[in-house]
A and B are shown apart, each in its own frame.
Chain A
Amino acid sequence: MILGELEKQVLNQLWTTGEADAKQIHAALGEAQGRSLNTIQSTLDRLYKKQLLSRSKLGHAFIYRPRLDRSELIARLIRDITSDFVRQGSDSLMAAFVSLSADLGDEELDRLEALIRQHRSQSQEPS
């Protein structure tokens, strides 16, 4: 998922107000920046198609609400980066403490922990 500058601003606005229609967002963001109502409407539509907003019709206008909060958006971004890595076959361009695409089962993690315990007890034994 990639977000443009205006998309981020619209999301921020909706996180603050909770819900709004295109005219309200335009009044808050668009007018000061010289953006048209059409630009704001298409930005809201793009965010809706990216499944970041939900909308319901009220009269002739759509009311938009954020589907994710900030924390959930970051989690989704991390998952997107992860799935890109998985597609590419490696964490090629970013160093992560534990590979972002790593997912070991409990059994394997238990086996590694047992190995670490064994190493600890061996190194504590008097030689």
Chain B
Amino acid sequence: MIVGTAAHWLNLLSLSALLGFAVITLQSLTGPVFLRAIRRLAPAEQKWILLGWACMPWALTALVLLQGIALTPDAFGVAEGLLGSLHWHHADVFEFTGWHGWILSTAALWLSLRCGQFLFKHWRLMSQIRLLLSETVAGQNDGFRVLPTREAVAMTTGFVHSRILLSQGLLEQTSQNQQSVILAHEQAHLRARDNLLRLLLTLMTAVLPDLAAKPLISRFSLVTEQLADAAVKQHHDAASIAQTLVQVARLRHAQTLPGQAAFIARQQLTERVYELLEPTRPSRGLQLLVLLALLLMALSALSAMDALHHLFDLFLIHS
């Protein structure tokens, strides 16, 4: 058992973890509806709403922590926070075998596991990218580097100092105009720092179960691709960009070994072509509605925290 300031901090951390679990559960349950609802928004609107959604567990947890820092338990060990979202007795006593201890150790285990998985995947990908980069040769200009392979590939790699890689196979099998479309698309990713944003989103959603995180990341990837396509429309017509997309997909299809690729990105390409030809109009009303729903969800999670706290107190050992 710990008593005093350290106990106050551990209790506060366990309450933050409790809120984190509540938000993650809510997000996992409402994620499919949320993703379906935002499909009718323009890609630029979707991008920031998706980032806001991913930030929510972290932002609310930080809010509770900030509240807790300013709190001092009274003479009876009772601490009361803003909006009634923090209210706990015996704030200066922490028992490892009590439910505060269980919540805290579960959260620490979950965070370590998910962050460990994220770091391993990231390290693996970066090692592969470094190897790929070491095999590139300089392109016709400083704008890109060439991968000496027959595969038709165009990509932007790196998070801070990003680079555009075009394969020799792609350069040989596409026209000058198509190459200009591809390069402009990749440059749009560089300007928007999309790889860095994808990294941040993947990191923030690492706390969500895969079932909830994957569709979210997939949607964000699609939205950043659609925005990069839209940026190319300043210099090329929509039909040419769509035609280039289909042409490159055709080249990749021809090179795919049987059973190599799952068909997960099929919907993405189709949606990109549709968005290019018939762009979604920004909808202020729907955007406000989605933002209101997010706000309501945040408030529900905050208000549920105290109820959950008391529910646990009823059935489990507190301290």
Of A21-29, A58-66, A80-88, the one touching chain B:
A80-88
Max chain A CB contacts within 10 Å: which of B128, B250, B265?
Answer: B265
Asked if residues B157 and A78 are in contact (CB atoms below 8 Å), the reply is no
Asked if residues A102 and B218 are in contact (CB atoms below 8 Å), the reply is no
Contacts of B273 in A (CB 8 A): 112, 115-116
Main secondary structure of the interface of A (DSSP, over half): helix
Q: Interface 1/0s, chain B 143-175, versus A by CB < 8 A? A: 000011111011111000000000110000000
Asked if residues A75 and B149 are in contact (CB atoms below 8 Å), the reply is yes
Asked if residues A93 and B131 are in contact (CB atoms below 8 Å), the reply is no
Residue in A89, A97, A120 whose beta carbon sits within 8 Å of that of B185 in the complex: A97
Asked if residues A103 and B256 are in contact (CB atoms below 8 Å), the reply is yes
Total A-B pairs, Cβ < 8 A: 176
Known: A74-B147, A80-B128, A101-B262. A95 touches B153 (CB 8 A): no
Contacts of A70 in B (CB 8 A): 135, 148
Contacts of B201 in A (CB 8 A): 92
Main secondary structure of the interface of B (DSSP, over half): helix
Q: Interface 1/0s, chain B 129-148, versus A by CB < 8 A? A: 10110110000000000011
Interface check B316, CB cutoff 8 A: no
Measured in the bound complex, the distance between the Cα atoms of B237 and A116 in whole Å is 11
Interface check A90, CB cutoff 8 A: yes
Known: A84-B125, A101-B265, A104-B269. A96 touches B195 (CB 8 A): no
Measured in the bound complex, the distance between the Cα atoms of B273 and A116 in whole Å is 8
Asked if residues B198 and A99 are in contact (CB atoms below 8 Å), the reply is no
Max chain B CB contacts within 10 Å: which of A80, A95, A104?
Answer: A95
| Interchain residue pairs with CB less than 8 A apart (19) | A3-B131, A8-B131, A71-B148, A74-B147, A75-B151, A77-B132, A78-B147, A79-B260, A81-B129, A90-B264, A92-B217, A95-B189, A95-B225, A97-B248, A102-B249, A103-B266, A104-B270, A109-B253, A113-B243
Question: B: which residues have CB within 8 A of A?
Answer: 121-122, 124-125, 127-129, 131-132, 134-135, 147-151, 153-157, 167-168, 182, 185-186, 189, 194-195, 198-199, 201-202, 210, 214, 217-218, 221, 224-225, 228, 238-239, 242-243, 245-246, 248-250, 252-253, 256-257, 260-266, 268-270, 273-274, 277
